[in-house]
Structure 1
Amino acid sequence: MKKTFYKHLYIASVLMLLLAGCTKKFDEINQDPNNPKTTDPGYLLVSAEKKAMDNILNEWNNGRTGMHYAQYWSATTYSNESRYQIRENVNNTFWNIMYAGTLKDLNEIIKINTTKPFDYSVNQIAIAEILKVWTYHMLVDVYEDIPYKSSLGGLERPGSQYDKAIDIYTDLLKILGEQVTKLDVSQPSFPAKTDIIYGGDVNKWKRFANSLRLRIAIRVSDVASMGTLVNKAINDAVTSGVFTSNADNALFRYVDAPPNNNPLNESFKSRVDFCMCKTMVDYMQDTKDPRLPIYAAPAKGSGKYIGKAYGLNQQNGETIPNSAVSLPGSAVLDAKSPGVYLDYAEVEFILAEAIERNILSGSAEEHYKKGIRASLEYQGVAASDVDSYIAGVPYNGGQWKNVIGTQKWIALYMQGLEGWFERLRLDIKKPNGQDLFVAPVDGSLDREVTMVPTRMTYPVDEQQLNKANYDKAVQSIGGKDSKAGKHFWDLY
């Protein structure tokens, strides 16, 4: 009986070991390969970078919003957006991609590296945090108050509270200052193939973070209560190291074939909804700007550069054939034309402005000229044309807002949202003080906006799914969710 008992005990033990081994194997087999429990942080970074750039560069948020509001482009047929009648589904999509797309991916990178840290985790977390700052900054400048603290650790969801834009700005500058010190150039970050912007180069990410501090700080430079913070952020950024050439530009590099080609290139394959705006073409012709043949194509009917009046109604706009006006140039619509997060030319214009505001010391004129040169060289203008153009647009410190502003506006071409923000902040006129921008020729379709929207209304989804917090946000920004509501930094 003892023999039988021990024999059965031995068999039972072997079976238990086998079952345990099989269970482990079954767990591995039963994982859905299309929905893995963890994702490589590198692939999440590619996803976050592409979603963000596609979202701000596409025909909807760039073409029909930013490029119109900055008066870079006019509409060929469907002109209602240029007269400020927005498509609510587009507004919803912009918001959702930023929160449920880019920010979700970046938060997941941070979560993975925090749960199981490696040598490269500090740099991966810092890079994700820097891109989060860029994303939140874009959102807050489009809408003003937005859900911020409630979405720092994950997906923004119905019920999220809104934070004051001025408080968000303060925190964004703080985060960038912290992450710059955490970036460790002696350690790896992301594999080169999974970081489309910088190929995992930690030094370049550090310069990008510092340059982004400049953009954020200068935007609130008119806000007296933020003076000390602005001064410190700009000086610390310059000391730590900002962009010094076009080699530092933060770019998303597209390729020839869809779905990874430039989104505007893809849009223009099937239809032509945009042409050059008269505002931009006329000004560039007046100053003999050598970038015009790059930014625009000659009108097919005349061979001349002709911009279309801004804000014609659809009927009037349709009576002007596309052959009679200039379309965007082939270079800016090329399949591989990169999307710009931030570039060296903008940094130089910010430095010039910071000197005029007595935040930095030095020559504003020198940085102004460097900004123009950087823009022309990036666009491939012949070296022989660069110096003559700079000489033809001399610096005038007495009109520095207009002088710097007009050149910054031209350099930001194709970055429609940024061009719009700078138009609002600097109230740009021509260097001689004459008006540069015009109201829509056939009038605005928004009763509260005459000249240009100063913010975007909140998405309809927020009004329906997050009503209590939406109502509080509306009260916080002046009691009305209007495209005429001004940002806290837009004081003039």
Structure 2
Amino acid sequence: MKIYAYYLLLCSLLLATSCTKKFDEINADPNSPKITDPGFLLVSAEKKGMDNLWNEYNNGRGGLHYAQYWSATTYSNESRYQIREIQNSNYWNVLYAGTLKDLNEIIKINREKNFDHSQNQIAIAEILKVWAFQILTDTYEDVPYKLAMGGLDRPNSPYDKSIDIYTDLLKVLGEQVTKLAPTKKSFPAQTDIIYNGDVNKWRLFANSLRLRVAMRVSDVPALKTQVEKAIRDAVADGVFTSNADNAIFRYIEAPPNNNVLNESYKSRIDFCMSKTMVDFMLEINDPRLPVYAAPAKNSGEYIGKPYGLNQKNGEKIPLEDVSQPGSAVLKATAPGVYMDYAEVEFILAEAVARGILPGSAEEHYKKGIRASLEDRGITGSAVDQYLTRVPYNGGQWKDVIGTQKWLALYMQGMQGWFERLRLDFKKPSGQPLFIAPVDGSLDRDVTVVPTRMTYPVEEQQLNKANYDQALQSIGGRDSKAGRHFWDLR
């Protein structure tokens, strides 16, 4: 019932009014309050951010395609990299004018009038802003940051270089973990869907997010010192140590607060499992496959569809002949994930393999696998047996860690795509894992997979001078083949 209360609070934001004593305020719009409770804004920011990242367009037609978790059932354009521009704009605008605007307002309110809870509320908002900005810069490369970080309602501002953004994200997280004060108040439990206002949990999330941010740029020589310090400091201060620490958005049964992909699947079936993923999971006898996918109706077997197959060419594959995503990942209450414990362990394994941290990379690797399996409901001897089938190999750590991290990130489409680009991993056997779209790319610059997303077209119209300057910074062209500064090969 507590969770239902969260959403009642969010809905009440639309109805919030303030009492008026002056005659000249009688005609004020009662549905446009002058001051909003920061708790309502946090609920709004958390939900907008996760809905935007998890929905059928940005996740289903974007990240889950680019990570080759899913294939298209009928309309293959997105899996062949022809995007819907309106959705690209929505992705950008919801993050800036939705999530980030709400978080900036929380900070503004607490700075204008300080309360006992203000220090923690500001820190939590700043941490979530780092989460949002990393997603933005990993998607597009250079993006508006400095002015938008300070509270711009619409980011009609200069674009900042991605390497500078990353440098500042590490700095901000390092500062905010020191400002979180467990002895002081935070957000009311009913207005924080992620952690119920638990400051200690937010501290773990901030440090775990430092690991993600730092490891994403671990190949960049200019950031080597900052990366190593951030990783060591985060571990020393405390990161996720179990699935109980996972930063998740808890959806509920009833619309409009159920899982957004669950709602999309009620009206049409546009996605199925990719042959890339199903075949690899069958090859290693992965016990998560029955959770991740459903057997094909006609055969009862797990069958993925070749990625990027254009059915308009007559290559028809009935829906009943291929596996759909599993009911567990599409149920109404399936959570959206900001970050989880399994990812933390894989980052720690990589940090040891790179010589940044002491210890055993193999041990962290096994913990990451165990965390992922247990989070999917697989326990006991099945976990131990699986670990023997996917042994750690330090000589091929990018492939063994990369493939298992990729499997653990299933449904986190954007993160799966970013890690595919960063590590360029293959199967542990050394054979290629990913393929180019079977019927070819529809983007003239891209053959195998986009390495970034093109800027929204409206940026060319509404922010042209800054847009043009950004293009010069990233190589002169707004292309999906543009390389992130951290994507070194």
In the superposition, the TM-score normalised over structure 1's length comes to 0.94
Matches within 5 A, 1:315-354: 315-316=312-313, 319-354=316-351
RMSD: 1.2
Cα distance, 1:154 vs structure 2: 1.9
Q: Secondary structure at the match of 1:407?
A: helix
The DSSP-based 3-state class of the residue aligned with 2:266 is helix
1:73 aligns with 2:70: yes
Q: Which residue in 2 is equivalent to 1:396?
A: 393
Secondary structure at the counterpart of residue 205 of structure 2: helix
SS in 2 for 1:341: strand
User: Among residues 419, 422, 425, which one is paired with 2:419 in the alignment?
Assistant: 422
SS at match of 1:331: helix
Tell me the secondary structure at the aligned position of residue 269 of structure 1. coil
The match for 1:88 is 85
Q: Does the Cα contact within 8 Å between 1:162 and 1:473 map onto a contact in 2?
A: yes
Q: Displacement of 1:158 after TM fit?
A: 6.0
Aligned mates of 2:273, 2:60 — CA distance in 1:
11
Structure 1 pair 69/41, CA: closer, same or farther in 2 (3 Å)?
Answer: same
Structure 2 unaligned blocks of 5 or more: 1-19
Q: Quote the residue 2:176 is aligned against.
A: 179
Q: Structure 1 residue 362 and structure 2 residue 359: aligned?
A: yes
Are the counterparts in 1 of residues 288 and 373 from structure 2 also a CA contact under 8 Å? yes
Query: In 2, distance between residues paired with 1:158 and 1:471?
Result: 15
1:270 alignment partner, SS class:
coil
Give, in whole Å, the separation in 1 of the partners of 2:276 and 2:143: 32
1:119 corresponds to which residue? Answer: 116
- C-alpha deviation, 1:156, in angstroms: 4.7
- Relative to the length of structure 2, the TM-score reads 0.95
Letter of the 2:416 counterpart: G
Residues 158 and 212 from structure 1, CA distance in 2 versus in 1: closer, same or farther, beyond 3 angstroms? closer
> Are 1:192 and 2:189 matched, yes or no?
yes
Letter in 2 for 1:461: E
Residue 313 of structure 1 deviates from its aligned partner by: 1.3
Within 2, Cα distance between the matches of 1:336 and 1:267? Answer: 14
Q: CA deviation at 1:27?
A: 5.3
Contact 2:351 2:357 survives alignment (8 Å): yes
**Structure 2 equivalent of residue 224 of structure 1:** 221
Q: Following the alignment from structure 1 to structure 2, what is the Cα–Cα distance between the partners of residues 300 and 427?
A: 34
- Partners in 2 of 1:123 and 1:32 — Cα distance? 32
Identical columns (%): 76
Structure 2: how far apart are the matches of 1:158 and 1:140? 14
- 1:272 paired residue number: 269
Tell me the distance in 1 between the aligned counterparts of 2:38 and 2:27.
23
Q: Does 1:36 align with 2:29?
A: no
1:323 CA displacement: 0.1
Instruction: Indicate yes or no: 2:176 matched with 1:166.
Output: no
Whether 2:304 is the aligned partner of 1:313: answer no
Determine helix, strand or coil for the equivalent of 2:71. Answer: strand
Q: Which AA in structure 2 matches 1:221? A: S
Distance between the aligned counterparts of 1:212 and 1:128, measured in 2?
14
- Residue in 2 that maps onto 1:452: 449
Structure showing greater radius of gyration is 1
| Residue equivalent to 1:130 | 127
3-state SS of paired residue (2:206): helix
Counterpart amino acid of residue 135 in structure 1:
A
Tell me the secondary structure at the aligned position of residue 450 of structure 1. Answer: coil
Number of residue pairs aligned between Structure 1 and Structure 2: 471
Give deviations 1:69-106, integer Å, cap 9, x for gaps.
00000000111000000010000000000000000000
Please give the secondary structure, in 2, of the residue aligned with 1:353: helix
Go from structure 1 to structure 2 and tell me whether the alpha carbon gap of 1:397 and 1:158 turns closer, same or farther (over 3 Å shift).
Answer: closer
How far off its partner does 1:383 sit?
1.9
Q: Establish whether residue 468 from structure 1 lines up as the match of residue 465 from structure 2.
A: yes
Q: Distance in 1 between matches of 2:296 and 2:59?
A: 23
Q: 1:214 is paired with a residue of what secondary structure?
A: helix
Residue pair 2:96, 2:155 contacting (<8 A) in 1 also = no
Query: Residue 148 of structure 2 contacts residue 155 of structure 2 at CA under 8 Å; is this kept in 1?
Result: no
Retained in 1: the 8 A contact 2:309–2:315?
A: no
Would you say the 8 A contact 1:147–1:156 is kept in 2?
no
Aligned-pair CA distance for 1:29: 4.3
Q: Does 1:435 align with 2:432?
A: yes
**Amino acid in the other structure paired with 2:382:** D
Q: Contact 1:121–1:189 at 8 Å: present in 2 too?
A: yes
CA contact (8 A) 2:274 2:305 kept: yes
Deviations 1:202-246 (A, max 9, x none): 000000000000000001000011000000000000000000000
The answer on whether the counterparts of 1:109 and 1:124 sit within 8 Å (CA) in structure 2 is yes
What CA deviation, in whole Å up to 9, does each residue of 1:226-283 have, x standing for no partner?
A: 0000000000000000000000000000000110000000000000000000000000
SS of residue in 1 equivalent to 2:338: strand
How far apart are the structure 1 equivalents of 2:384 and 2:123? 40
Deviations 1:288-346 (A, max 9, x none): 00000000000000000000000011314761100000000000000000000000000
